[in-house]
Structure 1
Amino acid sequence: MNFNLVFVFYSCLLGLIVGALASLFLALSNLLIHVTWTTIPEQLDTPFYPFWICLFGGLLIGLFQTYIGDYPRTMHQTLEEFKTTGRVAYEGAVVKNTVAALLVLTFGASLGPEAALISILGGLMTWAGDRMTWTLQKKKELLDLGIGAMLSTIFYAPLIGVSEALEDGVNRTNFKRTSIKVLLYALTTACGIFAFTTLNRLFPHEILFSISTPNVNWTVEVMYFLLPAVMIGTGFGYLFLLFGRWTDSVARNYPHPLGLALAAGAILGLFGSMSSYFLFSGEQKILEFSRIAFDQSVFFLISIAVGKAFLTHVCFSFGWRGGKIFPAVFSSTAMAFALASVFPYTPGLLIAVSVAASCTVILKQPFVTATLLLFLFPLQFFPFILVVAWLIHQGATRLTNHTTRTT
């Protein structure tokens, strides 16, 4: 990335826009969620309300998919479009992405807002770039910075953007370029978080993306359970991915948007009628859940973990598009609490390494995973999180390379 004052100015301005965009979008989605899930049920006495409202949401989403198009775009689609064409479509697409994402979030999908926000950001960035005659390289650099700032802002993880730069530069020899990239990510992220937190004070909101872990009370016995915790987390990560492959296969064999969306709504509504923890992405519920987790049965915790992982992919594959990172962390945390409730030796550490292993398998980025979890757990656990994330990634990479060579 070129380091000059004009580009630094644009980077900081981009960060402010990203933070404001994220705050306004989440405020609007939270308002719609409150009306749909609190205000309306208070006025109606409807049995099995979650089932009927999710089914109605499936109808709206299915009709939108059928007559408007395949929205909201996923993060992968946005990045692939930019890589292929050098731009992200914005003529009408920004509005379509916004409306589709709000439908998905409002009706309780087990998905997060990050994918929709990045597709919206990509469209706005392309619109601005067209009017300022930026080069393709400049557009790419600013889009990269914007995505890093967006992820850092909505996940309350300031170092995600920096870790993205480190992931890209870890195998490079151009350390000067990598250091400049890290600095620009840091500036953009700082501006994004400033704008996000400032605007958030204007809207009522709950504490997001925080986990309550037991006080750190080190015990020798925990060393015997670290490996099982890592293995369980790793296994759950692969189960999460397996659910995705299965639901994608079902969706390919039944390519009817309305039917798929209605099926997802019915399944989501059935699960939501059993527990509200199955609904939504989990960032607003994870703190509450972690406070009551040790009072629940192991069966309940495992059910929440597996059920939420399954629902995330049902929603995503069947047309309720959104981000998978928030529900991946929530479901991984539920599974980790199940383990820690059985082996209560420094339970916070067992939870941390299990979640780190699971999320590394799912995200495939060890530094991003570590920085995502940095502020979720006590700082004393971070070295363990970082080592586990790195080891899991190295093992997965070698396994993939070995499988490729043998086939």
Structure 2
Amino acid sequence: MTKRTVANNFLYYIFCGFSGAVTSLIVWLFLKLMGLGIGLVWDTIPSNFDFKFYPIIVCTAGGLILGIWQKLTNAVPDELDEVMKKVKKDKFYPYNKVLLLCISALLPLVFGGSLGPEAGLTGVIVGLCYWAGSHMKDAKSKIPELMQIGISATLSAVFYAPLFGLASVNEERLDSEEKPTDIRSTKLISNIIAVLFAAGTLFLLNSVFGGSMGLPRLGGYNITNFERLWGIPLALLGAVCGFLFIISSKIFGKFFALIQGKLGIIISTTLGGIILGVMGTYLPLAMFSGEESITVVKESFAEFAPWILIISGVLKLVLTNICIKSGWKGGHFFPVIFCGVSIGYGVAMLGGLDTAFCAAVVTAGLLGVTMKKPLAVTMLLLLCFDARVIPWILLAAFLGSIIPTKIFGSNKKKAK
């Protein structure tokens, strides 16, 4: 290795670290704006009056505004899987509407959508990474790697989970039919540097200016043989909930595609807003990303009937897909985690089981179905749950990942 090569690699790693820091700053600013918007719309304004059906009015208006915005700008954020597919296959991601995409990602979150911020943010960051790489002479050959670094850094900053940021990009889906991507040492090093700088920058910003430090932790474990006996059934329950998420995604995908084709995007997003508002009026836990709702469930679960928690979790799975498919584009990680926690707590209350253990296993099985990346699921849920349940989380995530693959795989073979 020549001195020039060493110097170029060093400069490249510095650029990766800088990219991670800038990504974290963008994520932090976006989340701050989101928090301010939500506070204004859902706390400040309604504090001046008491109106039961306020969510219906706000969500309907939000759907109308979102539809008009998308109609005028044609700036629609991609879902996270779509971003990752484009990065992997096309080696390109458009960056000409980055600012418009930021607004498109922000609007559904401010108006109470059952969505997470990771999808819209990832598309914005990846577009900026492509732009930066294409304007740097020595980095043009590494543009696909830079875009993957952008995804890792974004997920690390959004969830405050560097290990999840690494695993989500480098772990192959268990249902993937594509040839596994080789993980070179330089690529892994650049990913590690980026997520470390992202996490460090976010920690510094939150320490100085204040901000969220990721998902709340759920503790108080009392795992006995009774819980262990229920481990696999709980994982399968999570997988069933995952099936519900996938099926509802397909059903509402077709339904809203039909509406958008015949009546347009404005009608679609407005209808999505009406449904969101109605459900939010009677089941407030079903609204928003679910991050703060997890804290509510954790601290006040005894005040809820078990069936309320289970129904809230199940309906939020469906509502998340209604939001996404109707045009309220965003991520599903935060809502799905809340769904698993809420259902897990409800089942634990019905069966006299440890609440945190049930929540961990059900959530892992559910995420296993939606992500099909057991290691990434485990790294993500380490944010919420204790290391003592890691084996159960990994097992549930693996079962959730592999069972749908075998079922759908057998169906494909019969079709042939």
TM score, norm. by length of structure 1: 0.92
Segments of 5+ residues of structure 1 without an aligned counterpart are none
1:354: Cα distance to partner? 1.4
Code of the residue aligned with 1:158 in structure 2: it is P
Once residues 351 and 32 of structure 1 are traced to their aligned partners in structure 2, the CA distance between those partners, rounded to angstroms, is: 30
Aligned to 2:389: 381
1:279: Cα distance to partner? 1.4
Aligned to 2:203: 197
1:253–1:143 Cα change, 3 Å: same
1:273–1:392 Cα change, 3 Å: closer
Aligned to 1:406: 414
**Secondary structure of 2:137 counterpart:** coil
Aligned to 1:185: 191
My pick for the range that moved more, 180-189 or 367-376, is 180-189
Q: Check if 1:5 corresponds to 2:10.
A: yes
1:76–1:398 Cα change, 3 Å: closer
Q: Check if 1:234 corresponds to 2:239.
A: yes
1:12: Cα distance to partner? 0.8
Match of 2:117 among 113, 119, 126: 113
Q: Check if 1:315 corresponds to 2:323.
A: yes
Once residues 10 and 400 of structure 2 are traced to their aligned partners in structure 1, the CA distance between those partners, rounded to angstroms, is: 40
Aligned to 1:339: 347
Once residues 195 and 287 of structure 2 are traced to their aligned partners in structure 1, the CA distance between those partners, rounded to angstroms, is: 29
My pick for the range that moved more, 225-234 or 74-83, is 74-83
My pick for the range that moved more, 122-131 or 328-337, is 122-131
CA contact (8 A) 1:48 1:273 kept: yes
**Secondary structure of 2:364 counterpart:** helix
Q: Deviations over 1:250-269 (max 9, x none)?
A: 01211121111111111111
Q: Deviations over 1:102-159 (max 9, x none)?
A: 1111100000111111111122112212321355541110111120121122112221
Aligned to 2:30: 25
1:322: Cα distance to partner? 0.4
Q: Deviations over 1:183-220 (max 9, x none)?
A: 3322211110111121123444355411434x222322
Q: Check if 1:131 corresponds to 2:135.
A: yes
Segments of 5+ residues of structure 2 without an aligned counterpart are none
Aligned to 2:292: 284
1:77: Cα distance to partner? 3.8
Matches within 5 A, 1:259-274: 259-274=267-282
1:249: Cα distance to partner? 1.1
Aligned to 2:218: 212
Code of the residue aligned with 1:200 in structure 2: it is N
My pick for the range that moved more, 165-174 or 340-349, is 165-174
Q: Check if 1:156 corresponds to 2:160.
A: yes
Once residues 202 and 377 of structure 1 are traced to their aligned partners in structure 2, the CA distance between those partners, rounded to angstroms, is: 27
CA contact (8 A) 1:166 1:178 kept: no
**Secondary structure of 2:14 counterpart:** helix
Once residues 8 and 169 of structure 1 are traced to their aligned partners in structure 2, the CA distance between those partners, rounded to angstroms, is: 27
My pick for the range that moved more, 179-188 or 3-12, is 179-188
CA contact (8 A) 1:109 1:280 kept: yes
CA contact (8 A) 2:367 2:400 kept: no
**Secondary structure of 2:291 counterpart:** coil
Q: Deviations over 1:270-305 (max 9, x none)?
A: 111123312111123212222222431122012211
CA contact (8 A) 1:165 1:178 kept: no
Once residues 379 and 196 of structure 1 are traced to their aligned partners in structure 2, the CA distance between those partners, rounded to angstroms, is: 24
My pick for the range that moved more, 81-90 or 12-21, is 81-90
Aligned to 1:95: 99
Once residues 32 and 295 of structure 1 are traced to their aligned partners in structure 2, the CA distance between those partners, rounded to angstroms, is: 29
1:269–1:128 Cα change, 3 Å: same
Q: Check if 1:53 corresponds to 2:58.
A: yes
**Secondary structure of 2:225 counterpart:** coil
Aligned to 1:369: 377
Q: How many pairs were matched up?
A: 402
1:15: Cα distance to partner? 1.0
Aligned to 2:248: 243
My pick for the range that moved more, 242-251 or 160-169, is 160-169
1:222–1:270 Cα change, 3 Å: same
Q: Deviations over 1:31-62 (max 9, x none)?
A: 11111111111234444111111111011011
RMSD (Å) for aligned C-alpha atoms: 2.3
Code of the residue aligned with 2:233 in structure 1: it is P
1:73: Cα distance to partner? 3.0
Aligned to 2:41: 36
Once residues 186 and 395 of structure 2 are traced to their aligned partners in structure 1, the CA distance between those partners, rounded to angstroms, is: 26
CA contact (8 A) 1:247 1:313 kept: yes
TM score, norm. by length of structure 2: 0.90
Once residues 274 and 82 of structure 2 are traced to their aligned partners in structure 1, the CA distance between those partners, rounded to angstroms, is: 27
**Secondary structure of 1:280 counterpart:** coil
Code of the residue aligned with 1:262 in structure 2: it is T
Once residues 8 and 190 of structure 1 are traced to their aligned partners in structure 2, the CA distance between those partners, rounded to angstroms, is: 12
1:202–1:58 Cα change, 3 Å: farther
